[in-house]
Amino acid sequence: MKKIISSKYKCFVLVIEIFTVILLLPIFYNYLPIDKNAPTTFYLPSSDLDDVVDALEKNGYTVTVIDKLMLKLIETPQKGWYHVDHDAYGRLLFFATVHNKKAETMDIVIYAGETVEELITRLANDMKLDKVKLQQKYKTLTRFQEADIFANRYSIARKANEETTMQYLFDLSNTQLSKFEKENFSQKPDISTLKVLLTIASIIQKESNSVKEMPVISSVIHNRLNKGMKLQMDGTLNYGEHSHVIVTPERIKNDTSYYNTYKHKGLPPLPLSTVTLDALKAAMSPQKSDYLFFMLKPNGEHNFAATYDKHLENIRAFRLYQKERKEQKEAEAKEKLKIEAERKAKLEKETNTTQNMKNYNKPSSKKL
Q: CA-CA distance, 201 to 176, in Å (whole number)?
A: 15
What would the DSSP string read from start to end of 324-367? HHHHHHHHHHHHHHHHHHHHHHHHHHHHHHHHHHHHHHSPP---
Longest dimension (CA), the chain: 151
Residues 6+ apart with CB under 8 A from 300: 210
Phi, psi of 348 (to 5 degrees): -65, -40
Handedness of CA 302, 307, 308, 314 (dihedral sign): negative
3-state secondary structure of 291: coil
Question: What is the Cα Rg of the chain in Å?
Answer: 35
Residues 6+ apart with CB under 8 A from 67: 91, 95
**What is the pTM assigned to this prediction?**
0.79
pLDDT of residue 3: 55
Q: Which helix (H) or strand (E) holds 44?
A: strand 41-44
Please list the rounded mean pLDDT of every run of 10 residues in the chain (368 residues). Answer: 56 52 52 73 89 88 82 86 79 80 91 93 93 95 94 93 93 94 92 95 92 95 95 90 86 91 93 95 95 89 91 89 82 80 76 66 53
Provide the H-helix boundaries in 227-307: 249-254, 277-284
pLDDT of residue 226: 94
Q: Where do the structural domains in the chain lie, given as residue ranges?
A: 26-100, 107-154+161-184, 191-315
Q: CA-CA distance, 162 to 138, in Å (whole number)?
A: 10
On whether the CB atoms of residues 221 and 191 are closer than 8 A, the answer is no
